[in-house]
């Protein structure tokens, strides 16, 4: 039989208990599970992912786990926004079925030493400055998949490289999980929503929307100049950022996300991707051509 959706949010901290619940759902006829993995500090971008998950009519599990292994700098982990009480209230209001919120020791037992080793796809973009980051991301996502046993998982497109790597992991490891990707949710001034945005000073918050303005500018130039090279477009964007107060650019690339290759001329399968620090806050964004 089909399991009834529960009437109030159930909060699960135990891996074993979450697995038992999900196994019961899996064994019931016509019931499906959809997972929305998060690190907490929920904002409108997360809410859009949850609403998309609810639209599947499956049983919705939202996970909140601040994964220490994917942070290269301890300070970044310590200062990452933590709003668990407010997150719970939001999830209750959204009528989510389950919140899976394990402690670190539940996920990484004493002596933990097994991980996913992402190959070529990690050697680009964010992976160049964040050694081991995507191995840790892939490992925790696979663990969450094994614990919650979803038929569907929903991810945002802001973390584009992460999305590409997770899709590739699912393909390579023959996982029977459908990935739904959701467009970037933005503030009214175009800034991509991120849990880190609250760390911006007032002055830097005024500068931050220039990231997206620059992306739109390059997309327009590409439309007007059909044969504009990726090299020239990247230089134009870098100059635009420098002129407008964004000087600490980690990377700007135009990349075909199907293959993680860099074409000479952008195509409809390409994204322009950027990572930059504004003050002490690292922001990423992207736009499809």
Report the catalytic residues. 46
- The angle subtended at Cα 264 by Cα 266 and Cα 231, nearest 5°, is 90
Query: Alpha-carbon torsion 102, 103, 104, 106, what sign?
Result: negative
How many Å apart are CA 150 and CA 35, to the nearest integer? 6
The rounded Cα 60 to chain-centroid distance in angstroms is 18
Cβ neighbours of residue 159 under 8 Å, at least 6 residues apart?
Answer: 284
187's tokens: 């503030």
């Amino acid at each position: 039989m089909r399991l009834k959706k529960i009437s109030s949010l159930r909060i699960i901290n135990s891996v074993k208990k979450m697995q038992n619940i999900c196994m019961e759902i899996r064994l019931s006829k016509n019931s499906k599970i959809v997972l929305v993995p998060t690190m907490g500090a929920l904002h409108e971008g997360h809410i859009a992912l949850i609403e998309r998950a609810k639209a599947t009519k499956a049983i919705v599990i939202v996970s909140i786990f601040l994964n220490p292994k994917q942070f290269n700098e301890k300070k970044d982990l310590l200062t990452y926004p933590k709003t668990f009480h407010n997150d719970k209230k939001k999830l209750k209001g959204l009528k989510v079925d389950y919140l899976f919120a394990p402690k670190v020791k539940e996920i990484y037992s004493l002596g933990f030493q097994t991980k996913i080793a992402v190959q070529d796809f990690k050697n680009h973009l964010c992976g160049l400055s964040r050694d081991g980051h995507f191995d840790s991301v892939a490992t925790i996502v696979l663990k969450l998949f094994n614990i919650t046993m979803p038929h569907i998982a929903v991810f945002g497109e802001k973390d584009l490289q992460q999305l590409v790597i997770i899709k590739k992991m699912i393909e390579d490891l023959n996982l029977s999980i459908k990935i739904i990707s959701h467009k970037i949710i933005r503030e009214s001034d175009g800034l991509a929503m991120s849990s880190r945005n609250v760390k911006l000073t007032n002055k830097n918050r005024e500068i931050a929307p220039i990231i997206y303005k620059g992306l739109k500018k390059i997309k327009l130039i590409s439309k007007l100049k059909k044969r504009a090279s990726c090299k020239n477009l990247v230089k134009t964007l870098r100059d635009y950022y420098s002129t407008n107060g964004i000087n600490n650019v980690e990377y700007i690339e135009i990349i075909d996300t199907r293959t993680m290759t860099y074409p000479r001329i952008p195509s409809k399968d390409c994204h322009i991707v950027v990572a930059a620090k504004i003050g002490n806050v690292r922001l990423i964004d992207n736009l499809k051509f």
